[in-house]
A and B are shown apart, each in its own frame.
Chain A
């Protein structure tokens, strides 16, 4: 059974702090990993992709991947109220598909 697990939250951080979102996955052969942001009532939006072990930075976002531990994380620096959303972790499974976690709800408190 391929699974992606995330803490459902809610995770609350003060404005300007670092938000840390975590994800574990069960399929050892997965090679591609993604983070999506979903505002309430809206569709998911791709914000980060990572394929190699280590860190990948894009603006205030950093994705971290550890394949040996089957662990992916997303760090959001200088969190803003506009970052308040549900963050979905997605893991490539099979030739064409992604398996999504249920998401972590983040609230940034002004």
Chain B
């Protein structure tokens, strides 16, 4: 069965510091991978998606970037965090169908 991991689970970072969040998927090959952000009391905002190694599509221009160095690994990064980057970051995968399955998420607080 497929499993998706995210780490860390929680993170508190000062404004201007860098960020690296990692997501890995087990039990499937060549998944589509997604990064979402959910701000407090708001809906899911798609940040990036990837259909293969090195292929990244950005949905929202901002100070975040994503990379997919391996088939089942997806990384979200920032060089300098802003207060507005606080939120619940969710990684998801999908296979042949459109169903997306979410990881446990990383709760980021920028102070």
Interface residues of A, Cβ cutoff 8 Å to B: 32, 34, 42-46, 49, 88, 90, 92, 96-103
Specify the chain B residue showing the minimal Cβ separation from A31: B98
Q: Which residues of B contact A103 (CB under 8 A)?
A: 43
Q: How far apart sit A32 and B100, CA to CA, in the bound complex (Å)?
A: 12
Q: Is the CB of B32 within 8 A of A43?
A: no
Residues of B near any A CB (own CB < 8 A): 32, 34, 42-44, 46, 49, 51, 59, 90, 94, 97-105
Determine if B102 and A44 form an interchain contact, defined as CB atoms under 8 angstroms apart: yes
A97 touches B46 (CB 8 A): yes
Given contacts A96-B51, A97-B49, contact A46 B43 (CB under 8 A): no
State the total of A-B contacts with C-beta under 8 angstroms: 45
CB nearest neighbor in A for B44:
A100
The one of A34, A45, A100 that contacts B43, using a Cβ cutoff of 8 Å: A100
| Residues in chain A near residue B42, CB distance under 8 A | 102
User: Chain A: which residue is nearest B91 at the CB level?
Assistant: A43
Known A-B contacts A43-B103, A46-B101, A96-B51; A102 and B32 likewise in contact (beta carbons under 8 Å): no
